[in-house]
Structure 1
């Protein structure tokens, strides 16, 4: 077996329109395809990250809450690489997104921080 790359990351949203606005307008991800799956009562929106990776946003009727934050077993957070953590933090704060204090990775000496998506999913920004 040889894995070539990550194909996509799927996120289930409690408020699809709010999450769509967050990921498209605030984070700047580009919509590729959006469909409503009537048989499931669910939207699916494919978003591209710099033309390479894909985030899939899903809406489902009454999705269950995360069992705990952020240390539940399973996927811990989604991380995006940015050129400038400070500029990204300034943009997020300007959009009303709460952002944690910027930290330095002790192994790489790179800056990083976290902020939540509309459902509280932890998102990290990590300086290139």
Structure 2
């Protein structure tokens, strides 16, 4: 019935800052960027493998509680071949990365960092 995740939508507080973060720091290619005048909103589609991140701006979006365990989307996880090179790269971009953890159920290693609005982003080693 369901084949794959097509996209994940993120509403940001500062569009240009978040676009730089996802497109330049995380190196996600921009598929398209459009200004939606009727909504006073930018929309930027970014490629992540076979799926996309839709980055939105809206005038004065309300803050969403995300800590410690608010209802709704908890975090966005990215698969990586190896944690250490990605962690080193992110730290060189002045991003804080949590210590590596071990998934007790799969035996896989993972860690977290955050986007400019504090959305938790996970790196999960394949």
Other-structure match for 1:96: 94
Other-structure match for 2:109: 111
Alignment of 1:1-128 (within 5 A): 2-50=1-49, 52-128=50-126
Between 1:95-104 and 1:68-77, the stretch displaced more is 68-77
Aligned residues: 126
Secondary structure class of the residue paired with 1:48: strand
- Extract structure 1 runs of 4+ deviating beyond 3 A: none
User: 5+ unaligned residues in a row in structure 2: which ranges?
Assistant: none
Change (3 A) 1:83 1:93: same
Give the deviation of 1:93 after TM superposition.
0.4
Q: TM-score, normalised by structure 2?
A: 0.97
CA distance in 1, matches of 2:66, 2:22: 23
Q: TM-score, normalised by structure 1?
A: 0.95
